[in-house]
Amino acid sequence: MAEYRFLSYRFDCQTHTLKQGKQPLELRPKAAKVLSYLLQHANTVVSKQEIIEAVWGHPHVQEHRLFQLISELRKLAPEQDLIRTYPNQGYSWQVKTKVVLPPSRNRFALAASLLLSVSVASGAYLNNQPASTSTPTLLPALSAYHKAIVAFEHQKYPQAQQWLTFSLQENPESIEAQLLLAETLLQMNETAQAQHYASQVVQHTAVNSYYFSQASDLLSRLSVSQARFSEALNFAIQGQQAIDQQAICSAVVMRQRIADLIIAQPESLQSATLHSATAQLTHGSVPTNTAQNINSQQSELCKQLTQPGPTSMRLCTPSSGVHIGRERLA
């Protein structure tokens, strides 16, 4: 079984033993089960009912008993945000966690052990399936991600959420899955969870500039949905600056987003907002010959991708005679 390592702790999911360094720590059996379940669903919001049924084996348990166990686990590192509470939703394990497989004597022993574990865990399922002649081309995490994309395109958001959650359980480090899950949750009006996943990407120290830009764009649209236009504009500018001279088509979209946000301001604030936005973009603006850097095929594909669709966001259209477009911000 796997061992989970977080902060200075090590937790064995098979024996339910917790150690800090080499020092064993006492942990009540039910608390150990809660910890095991949260670790196995790290960075995913799990409902109280899910945890209760996994730990007690039935749903007829008062929530205060679970709350006591959560409080007990938080005492392991009071200064850290080990477990985050999502009101009316559940809990999520937050700290960075590493999964370590047990050592084996040789590769063949490890392979045999893995095959045995898989056959025991999934024997009942496989017995009911037709014989397969080959291994699937894509591994489950990527396959689930692709299924989520198809579901998202057909606006089947609950189905997309299900596949993305599964994909992240298989590959918790997938930034693409986190971003698409955040976008899916936004379409479902689950703004708190959407913000959680987008913020995680922004705060990820190793994330590249494009992922940062996409997460910033999503946070900008989240702010718009909550009528926080100044915050939305700041997020949009941060996202645009991150990819200004890297992803030309995306930069054009971001700059139009900024223009829309400026137009959405009251007329009395538009001039000041435009001046502020222009000042922030001065050091990262797209060169005036940007269009020359896009070949005809790329330009056509960009046009197809940026046409307004059923899920596109247009805050408003210029109706007061104020012309604010890409060239004004360039």
**Confidence (pTM):** 0.48
Give residue 328's pLDDT.
38
Give residue 246's pLDDT.
62
DSSP H helices, the chain, are: 29-40, 48-56, 63-74, 107-127, 140-153, 157-170, 175-187, 191-203, 209-225, 229-242, 248-263, 267-281, 296-305, 326-329
Q: Which residues of the chain have pLDDT under 70?
A: 1, 102-137, 205-207, 244-248, 264-295, 306-330
Give residue 273's pLDDT.
58
Give residue 52's pLDDT.
93
Give residue 253's pLDDT.
77
